[in-house]
Chains A and B, each alone.
Chain A
Amino acid sequence: MNNSIKYTLFASLLLGATTKAEVPTFTLEIRDHLFYPAQLVVPANTKVKLIIINRDATPEEFESYELNREKIIMGGAKAIIFIGPLLPGDYPFFGEFNPKTAQGLIRVEN
């Protein structure tokens, strides 16, 4: 069974490598527990690379239930998250460590 997991893993590795170059990239910043920009528009049905830069000294966790993503970004660090391909619609995200203020929205449009 290990072999089969590995096999799928390698197959998708190759797949990922070929598509890597054309992935559109968007940048989000965290400052004072706020996301900038708070709303991000990305193309639909495309794999998208998000670069999140945490300008605060404290760690933050990027989390989105709708996108099914969560990642801790330490203070002053940079994180890369791939999302999509997604159907058009609104996908809210938030900073789990400061959910009252760190809120944002990814709008997927055709």
Chain B
Amino acid sequence: MKSIRGFLVIILLAIVTLANFAAVLRGYLGSMDEAERLFNQRMLQQVDLLNYTLPQLLTTAEQRSEARVFPARTLATEASLEFQWVALDGTLLARSNAMPEQPVVPLEQGFQFANFHNYRWHLFVTPSSDKSSWFIVAERADQRYRLAESMILQAVYPMVFAIPIIGLIIWWIIGVGLKPIANLARELRQREATDLRALEQQDMPVELIQLAQSANDLLRRLDSSFAREKRFSGDAAHELRTPIAALKIHCENLLHELQPAPASVLKLKQGIERMSYLVEQILLLNRTAPDHFMGNFETVNLTQLVKQTIVEQSAALELKHHQIEFNGDECWVSGDRTALTSLLNNLLGNAIKYTPDGGQIAINTWLRGGDVVLEVMDNGPGIPATERERVFDRFYRLGGDRHSSKTTGCGLGLAIVQQVVELHGARIALTQSRYEQGLLIIVTFTACLATSTESKPLHLNQLLDHKVGDHEQLH
């Protein structure tokens, strides 16, 4: 059974059809029997009529050598009654126009059939009331049958034409009856992934209450296990912060105490820094997860934010001798400041990290109609087209751990970026850089009008073609 509605409609319609048509056939057979009786009755009446009129003609008939022929009827009718009047010796005394000149059947009393004049006839043969002659009353079988059937069919037509209408009604009614199921399905479908509230059971039919209860039970358990899981990664990362901070301090102390510092301590320091970075990234990933993001959306000056980010990353830029270029319009978007900051940090951080020393990096913010376009472009090794889907996966790094740039990372950066993009209903695309090689990342937000709550906007001339050099500070 693939569909409850299909099953119910078909089976109900089949039952209705069978019952209805069985009734039709029963009625048809009964009516035909009744019609048969009626037509036979009519033949008997005809015999009465012949008995009243014909015997008076007997004397004149005997003087004639030929049988008297009664003229054909002038009124057009669907069914006519014909007759033959036969003497006891079998000679024809009289006949109606449509009958043959010889008696059509042997003279035996009762109803009979005979074929003549290209038709099959119903016959009634009976002696006259004075037993001195015989009457044969004849009626065409096809006419009699048609007349009877045309009468009965008037009752049959509506019952047959009712079937498609009944079918439509059944289809509609079952649709109405199954509505609560459709509603339940729609409610479940439309729910957000994070929405694990119990289902409303108040107006539910009894048949669905058990289902809803079970579903609610399941939702409750799912909710608690979600909460546990959510807390775990966040809590774990958070709990790791304190021991890492302690490790950091001890490592610094160690560096101070052991002069000159041994290589292994320097490596230890690097390791601790990596671990600390990883924990921060996990916390960030957790915080920006759309399932349970607790952001504070406001109107943010994206251009301002980009500049801040460049300033914050200036030390790293300087270290690798990168050229950075910043162009664009002043753009405002509606978003969470912290999340957007981590998005910019990750994008710029990646560009700095993966572009070889002395590379070129460009960040642009453009106003394009109703959209704000953020571009981050470098002339690093880029990402092959085939890998561009996968780089957003958690802990995925291009070429695995043997990353060509030999830089360390944890593979969470772009996953965080994508989460932030999702949170803001923005789109992200990776393409070929406009430099001879490298990567161009385009994030498209919906633009937002500037509000006075934001800090003082920059002057226009400052924004246009604002080049930021290696050593230039914005503030």
Contacts and interface: CB of A to CB of B under 8 A. Distances in A.
A100 B145 contact: yes
A101 B142 CA distance: 7
Interface residues of B, number: 8
A38 B120 CA distance: 11
A93 B145 CA distance: 20
B141 interface: yes
A32 B141 contact: no
B435 interface: no
A33 B145 CA distance: 14
Nearest to B116: A34
Interface string B94-134: 00000000000000000001010011100000000000000
Interface in B112-171: 113, 115, 118-120, 141-142, 145
Contact of B118 (A31, A38, A103): A31
A34 B142 CA distance: 11
A34 B145 contact: no
Contacts of B118: 31-32, 34
Contacts of A103: 113, 120
Contact of B141 (A31, A36, A38, A100): A100
Contacts of A100: 120, 141-142, 145
Nearest to A37: B115
A29 B145 CA distance: 23
Contacts of B145: 100
A32 B120 CA distance: 10
Contacts of A38: 115
Nearest to B146: A100
Contacts of B142: 33, 100-101
A34 B145 CA distance: 15
A108 B142 CA distance: 29
Interface string A38-77: 1000000000000000000000000000000000000000
Contacts of B119: 32, 34, 101
Contacts of B141: 100-101
Interface in A64-110: 100-101, 103
A38 B141 CA distance: 15
A36 B115 CA distance: 9
A32 to B, nearest CB: 4
A99 to B, nearest CB: 10
Contacts of A32: 118-119
B86 to A, nearest CB: 22
A11 B120 CA distance: 44
Nearest to B149: A100
Nearest to A101: B120
Interface string B272-306: 00000000000000000000000000000000000
A71 B120 CA distance: 22
Contacts of A33: 142
Contacts of B120: 34, 100-101, 103
Nearest to A34: B115
A18 to B, nearest CB: 39
A32 B145 CA distance: 16
A31 B119 CA distance: 9
A109 B182 CA distance: 73
Contacts of B115: 34, 36, 38
Interface centre among B113, B115, B141 (most CB of A within 10 A): B115
A98 B13 CA distance: 31
Contacts of A101: 119-120, 141-142
A83 to B, nearest CB: 22
A31 B117 CA distance: 11
Nearest to B140: A101
Contacts of B113: 103
A38 B118 CA distance: 12
Interface in B40-69: none
B368 to A, nearest CB: 76
Nearest to A35: B115
Nearest to B121: A101
A81 to B, nearest CB: 21
Contacts of A34: 115, 118-120
A34 B117 CA distance: 11
A34 B140 CA distance: 13
Interface string A1-45: 000000000000000000000000000000111101010000000
A18 B328 CA distance: 106
A103 B120 CA distance: 9
Nearest to B142: A101
A101 B122 CA distance: 10
A101 B145 CA distance: 10
B449 to A, nearest CB: 83
A41 to B, nearest CB: 17
Given A36-B115, A100-B141, 12 more contacts: A31-B118, A32-B118, A34-B115, A34-B118, A38-B115, A100-B120, A100-B142, A100-B145, A101-B119, A101-B141, A101-B142, A103-B113
Closest 10 CB pairs of A and B: A101-B120, A32-B118, A100-B145, A34-B115, A38-B115, A101-B142, A101-B141, A34-B120, A100-B141, A100-B142
20 contacts: A31-B118, A32-B118, A32-B119, A33-B142, A34-B115, A34-B118, A34-B119, A34-B120, A36-B115, A38-B115, A100-B120, A100-B141, A100-B142, A100-B145, A101-B119, A101-B120, A101-B141, A101-B142, A103-B113, A103-B120
